[in-house]
């Protein structure tokens, strides 16, 4: 079977809620993926940062296999022997007191929003059902109805109403807007320290710190969505570390599993997560022994292989080399660590054709919005691998 045969079956039976590049992958290892026609590609998307540790990392795959042969799922009706160690290790690594495990990132965000609302009513003293959560333009936090209720991207919302009330949207990066929108009913401010799907947007220096201070002053919870920017992607364990803040709640997902299984978690204090009582929130698969064993190993690999440091160093090198490419198509190169966005000028006629040209040269990238190419390879990438890719990227960025 050839690429087109796989695509034909997929397109015949599947819902068309994605517009993938026409590459059919059947094998992957480290930074490389292989297609059914035998072509090899450098993966510069890393499954939206879920495979930060590299594809099929042997240690993570082993943890998965070993645990799968023992016990995979108990549900939280019973306890299992992996969850306590996942809790302890993730808290020790991140410096948080308490954790609540879920599966997808969106469920992690929903959990954080529920915690914030309940904290608002039970602890801050906001009148029941009056709690407000402030979010930012251009955000991405998942696809549930409540989450898209505060999206500013029309495409994410079209045809999906009615929406969940209680959210306000202010301009990302604008501290005055936040100051203006906070009221006595505000329970939380939800923000991505670097916007990923929004086009790898880095807010102005000092913005997160000022926003954090404003939240503290007004007894508003600061929630960092680090599902994509976290766990080393930005060159720090968390992107918020660049501004020396400690969010009240941090949501992680994606790379928490090394790409092996959907695992997310909400990190916070005992006081905030303490608002949950038996029966008021949960998930059948959240905190399963399989998930816990995989997450434990994924975090160990991140630390022991120094992937955060490598992301910082390789990211700096990659951006410098990208900036040295003299291309009339490029408007801006931005990012932190190996979280890099190349924004093209409008005249360049969209990022998609550049991604297709990169694919033809053995590099997989995905456009985000119309005009941004995101470069976010697995954090294990080496200088040699970047040096292999850079001339090809230069060729594509300078094309007519
Ligand atoms: C991917 C992502 C999510 C949603 O995660 P899913 O696992 O796709 O539900 C939430 N927030 C951010 C910042 C993301 O990048």
Give the model confidence (pLDDT) of 295-353 as tens digits. 999 999 999 999 999 999 999 999 999 999 999 999 999 999 999 999 999 999 999 99
In this structure, the residue with its CA closest to atom 6 of ligand 1 is: 105
Please state, in angstroms and rounded to a whole number, the distance separating the CA atoms of residues 129 and 180. Answer: 21
Confidence of residue 264 (pLDDT cuts 50, 70, 90): very high
> Does any ligand 1 atom lie closer than 6 A to the CB of residue 215?
no
Q: What residue segments make up the domains of the chain, in order of their start?
A: 3-56+306-397, 58-304
Residue burial 221-242, b: 16+ Cβ < 10 Å; e: rest: bbbbbbbbbbbbbbbbbbbbbb
* Burial call 105-137: b when 16+ CB within 10 Å, e when fewer: bbbbbbbbbbbbbbbbbeebebeeeebbbbbbb
Catalytic residue among 225, 354, 366, 371: 225
Long-range CB contacts for residues 235-239, cutoff 8 Å, separation at least 24: 235/308, 235/311, 235/312, 235/313, 235/315, 235/316, 235/336, 235/337, 235/338, 235/339, 236/308, 236/312, 236/336, 236/337, 237/93, 237/94, 237/308, 238/94, 238/193, 239/193, 239/194, 239/336, 239/339
24 pLDDT higher than 90? yes
Ligand 1 centroid vs 38 CA: distance in angstroms? 31
The Cα 292–Cα 90 span in angstroms is: 10
Locate the ligand 1 atom nearest the alpha carbon of residue 197 and give its number. Answer: 15
150 is catalytic: no
Q: For a pocket test of ligand 1, which of 113, 136, 141, 224 has the largest count of ligand atoms closer than 8 A to its C-beta?
A: 141
CA of 25 to the centre of ligand 1 (A): 22
Report the nearest atom of ligand 1 relative to the CA of 109. 10
pLDDT of amino acid 69: 98
Query: How does pLDDT run across 57-90, given as a tens digit for each residue?
Result: 999 999 999 999 999 999 999 999 999 999 999 9
Q: Is the pLDDT of residue 294 over 90?
A: yes
Distance 347 CA to ligand 1 centre (A): 30
Q: What percent of the chain has pLDDT over 90?
A: 98
Output the pTM of the full model.
0.98
Nearest residue (CA) to ligand 1, atom 11: 141
225 touches ligand 1 (CB under 6 Å): yes
**Residue 204 burial (C-beta neighbours within 10 Å; 0-12, 13-18, 19+):** exposed
Q: What is the pLDDT of residue 258?
A: 97
Q: Whose CA is nearest to atom 15 of ligand 1?
A: 228
Q: Is 265 in the pocket of ligand 1 (CB under 6 A)?
A: no
Please state, rounded to an integer, the average pLDDT across all residues of the chain. Answer: 97
| Ligand 1 pocket check for 250: Cβ under 6 Å | no
DSSP state of 161: P
Burial (CB < 10 A; 0-12, 13-18, 19+), residue 205, is exposed
Q: In 3D, which of 292, 282, 293, 295 has the Cα closest to residue 77? A: 282
CA 139, CA 152: separation in Å to the nearest integer? 7
pLDDT band with cut points at 50, 70 and 90 for residue 357 = very high
Query: pLDDT at residue 369 above 90?
Result: no
Reduced to 3 states (helix: H, G, I; strand: E, B; else coil), residue 127 is: coil
The response to whether residue 140 sits with its C-beta less than 6 Å from ligand 1 reads: yes
- Structural tokens at position 153: 């991207």
* pLDDT in the model for residue 318: 98
Q: Does residue 119 have its Cβ closer than 6 Å to ligand 1? A: no
- Topology of domain 58-304, per CATH? 3.40.640
SS3 state at 267: strand
Q: CA 298, 62, 262, 113 torsion: positive or negative? A: negative
Say yes or no: CB of residue 105 within 6 Å of ligand 1.
yes
The whole-number average pLDDT for the span 29-35 is 98
Is 253 near ligand 1, meaning CB less than 6 Å away?
Answer: yes
Please indicate whether residue 114 is annotated as part of the active site: no
Under a CB-based contact definition with an 8 Å cutoff, are residues 94 and 237 in contact?
yes
Q: Whose CA is nearest to atom 5 of ligand 1?
A: 105
**225: annotated active-site residue:** yes
For ligand 1, atom 10, which residue shows the shortest CA distance? Answer: 141
pLDDT in tens, 40-51: 999 999 999 999
pLDDT band at 256 (very low <50, low <70, confident <90, very high): very high
Extract the tokens encoding 27.
């094998």
CATH code for the structural domain at 3-56+306-397: 3.90.1150.10
Q: pLDDT tens, 157-197?
A: 999 999 999 999 999 999 999 999 999 999 999 999 999 99
Catalytic residue selected from 86, 140, 189, 339: 140
Residue 341's nearest CA partner among 260, 190, 233 is 233
């Amino acid at each position: 079977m050839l690429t087109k045969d796989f695509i034909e079956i997929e397109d015949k039976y599947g819902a068309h809620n994605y517009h993938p590049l026409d590459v059919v992958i059947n094998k992957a290892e480290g930074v490389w993926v292989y297609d059914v026609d035998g072509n090899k590609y450098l993966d510069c998307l890393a499954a939206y940062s879920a495979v930060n540790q590299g594809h099929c990392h042997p240690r993570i795959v082993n943890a998965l296999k070993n645990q799968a042969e023992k016990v995979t799922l108990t549900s939280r009706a019973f306890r299992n022997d992996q969850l306590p160690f996942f809790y302890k290790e993730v808290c020790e690594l991140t410096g948080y007191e308490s954790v609540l495990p879920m599966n997808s990132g969106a469920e992690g965000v929903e959990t954080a929003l529920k915690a914030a609302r309940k904290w608002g009513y039970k602890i801050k003293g906001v009148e029941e059902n009056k709690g407000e959560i402030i979010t930012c333009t251009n955000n991405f936090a998942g696809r549930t109805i409540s989450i898209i209720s505060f999206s500013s991207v029309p495409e994410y919302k079209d045809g999906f109403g009615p929406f969940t009330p209680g959210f306000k949207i202010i301009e990302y990066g604008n501290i005055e807007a936040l100051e203006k929108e906070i009221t006595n009913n505000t329970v939380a401010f939800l923000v991505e320290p670097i916007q990923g799907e929004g086009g790898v947007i880095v807010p102005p220096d000092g913005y997160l710190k000022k926003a954090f201070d404003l939240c503290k002053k007004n007894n508003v919870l600061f929630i960092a969505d680090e599902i994509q920017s976290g766990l080393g992607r930005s060159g720090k364990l968390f992107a918020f570390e660049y501004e020396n803040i400690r969010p009240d709640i941090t949501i992680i997902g994606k790379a928490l599993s090394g790409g092996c299984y959907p695992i997310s978690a909400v990190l916070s204090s005992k006081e905030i997560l303490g608002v949950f009582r038996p029966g008021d929130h949960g998930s059948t698969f959240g905190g399963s022994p399989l998930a816990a064993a995989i997450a434990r190993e994924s975090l160990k690999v991140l630390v022991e292989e120094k992937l955060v440091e490598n992301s910082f160093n390789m990211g700096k090198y990659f951006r410098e080399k990208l900036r040295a490419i003299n291309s009339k198509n490029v408007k801006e190169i931005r990012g932190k660590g190996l979280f890099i966005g190349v924004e093209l000028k409008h005249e360049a006629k969209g990022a998609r054709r550049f991604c297709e040209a990169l694919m033809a040269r053995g590099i997989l990238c995905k456009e985000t919005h119309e005009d941004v190419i995101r470069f976010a390879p697995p954090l294990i990438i080496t200088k040699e691998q970047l040096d292999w890719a850079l001339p090809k990227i230069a060729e594509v960025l300078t094309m007519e």
